[in-house]
Amino acid sequence: MIDSKNQISLTKALLPIIILILALTINGIHLSLSPTEENILGEYTFHMTLLFCGIITSIIGLIEKISIDTIIKKIFSSIKSIATAIIILFLVGGLAGIWKVSGVIPAMVFYGVKFINPSVFLPLTLIITALVSLTAGSSYVTSATIGIALVAVGTAFNIPPGMTAGAVISGAYFGDKMSPLSDTTNLASAISGTDLYTHIKYMMYTTFPTFIITFIIFCVISFNLNNAVSTDVVEVNILSSIIEKDFFIGPVLFIVPICVLILAFLKIKPIIALSSGVILAAIFALVYQNNVLEVIDSSKMNAIIKSIFTVTEIPLQIENPEEIKELSKGLKKFYGLGGMESMLWVITLTICAMVFGGTMDAIGALSKITRALLERAKNMFGLFVSTVISCLGINITASDQYLSIIIPGKMFKEAYEERGLTPENLSRTLEDSGTVTSALIPWNSCGAYHYGVLGVSVYDYFIYAIFNWMSPIMTLIYAGFSIKIRKILKSKTL
């Protein structure tokens, strides 16, 4: 623990963040000026930058007489806190690989291009992912299942992957926020001291208008895309015929994702639910996809193990691929999908982010920045602004959505009470600015996860994740105009 008398200055607390932003900005400018060149730090730009900033933070801590043992313990504690998340990430990679080989994801794509009209694809994607996430209570499960298939379907329609991924993430986080099964929803209500269902009901005031606006924007985007999006029956038929030739396709394959969603709905632990999805898909692969397994390996069991653990590409043969260049490119990416190996970039990035977050916590930078924001909250609106900035700041620095709820929740709880505000005001603000914005930061565990699963970078989907970046704006609008700001009723004394 850091003695309150020996807290570091705000300047030193902010220095690692400034360096992080500058390093990433310089790399972004380099790429914009020379788009054909590689990143300055190669494929591991974020990893190296976060580790470098972690070293800078540790040096600041040592200068401030914080022992190296304290810093190392905080780093290990930070990494330990995501041990379960790392296992889930590996399982999601294995799930994507075996769901491809078992025909589950190809079946989703096959029926998707057959029955979904491209002109309503984006709004429909938003609604589908919202419903799945409400049922499962998890944006992670939504992205790893229906999200992957929808991005592939969007590619078949020549819709930019960023648009589809933005719709997927917008819908997934709407469901994640509003579902009583969601871990972040339960955490936000618990940390602020409000009842779960009071919290969910109060979130409706900001969440539903944001979702409706998001839906309208995607309808407008779809309308403007009508002339550009390919509705070429020939291309759709080519895609369908390729999938049908390579895989057994039938409604029976949907038993696998339905079982996973049922387990999630029953609040079975994610590790068990995802493991069940992997095992069940492996059985379906053995029963229905003999041809695919033989292409991967002469031994069926070896083929299944490869598809779960490695990035296993199924050979794709298309006649005259130049005539359907974009479709061919999308299919090749789709056929090379999944495997635990594909999640290594995401997992190592998450660990690097936890190293940086651990050092920031060890030197007292996170609490210093949050306290500084709290001190500047001179009125009610300032309090809401400070909460939003604190959640965003911790999502950027600690790279963890749970900390972006826990730290501001603890720090601001008393301030909300002092201003006569009920705890659901705090819980709603934590969700509107902490939970949803985590997917908008590339090195945050959530942003890295969705990139790893969907294969679309945060930079590509950021502007289209409308629900996510609009949520904190909406909560500030409500606070600024004192709309649905609930006050504590003082009982009359006799």
Give the per-residue pLDDT at 492.
Answer: 40
Which of 150-154, 234-238, 273-277, 283-287 shows the lowest mean pLDDT across its residues?
234-238
Question: Which range has the top average pLDDT, 202-211, 221-230, 352-361?
Answer: 202-211
More confident residue, 250 or 225: 250
Give percent of the chain with pLDDT exceeding 90: 32
pLDDT at 2 over 50: no
22-60 confidence digits (pLDDT tens) = 876 676 555 444 444 455 445 677 788 889 999 999 999
Nearest alpha carbon to residue 324 among 334, 335, 332, 336: 332
Note the pLDDT of residue 104. 86
493, pLDDT greater than 50: no
Indicate if the pLDDT at residue 453 is higher than 70. yes
pLDDT greater than 50 at residue 130: yes
Is the pLDDT confidence value at 439 over 90? yes
Mean per-residue pLDDT, 188-204: 89
pLDDT score for 332: 63
Q: Which of 74-88, 176-190, 271-285, 320-334 has the highest mean pLDDT?
A: 271-285
Q: What average pLDDT does this structure show over 399-426?
A: 85
> Given this model, what pLDDT does residue 442 score?
86
Domain residue extents for the chain = 45-81+344-480, 83-341
Per residue in 135-146, pLDDT (tens digit) is 777 888 788 778
The proportion of the chain whose per-residue pLDDT surpasses 70, expressed as a percent, equals 87
Does 490 score more than 70 pLDDT? no
If we measure between CA atoms, which residue out of 246, 178, 99 comes closest to residue 432?
178
Looking at residues 347-368, what average pLDDT do you find? Answer: 85
Question: Per-residue pLDDT averaged across 178-206, rounded?
Answer: 87
pLDDT over threshold 50, residue 342: yes
Write down the pLDDT at residue 40. 47
Per-chain mean pLDDT for the chain? 83
pLDDT surpassing 70 at residue 321? no
Residue 46 is predicted with a pLDDT of: 74
The span from the CA of 342 to the CA of 212, in Å, is 35
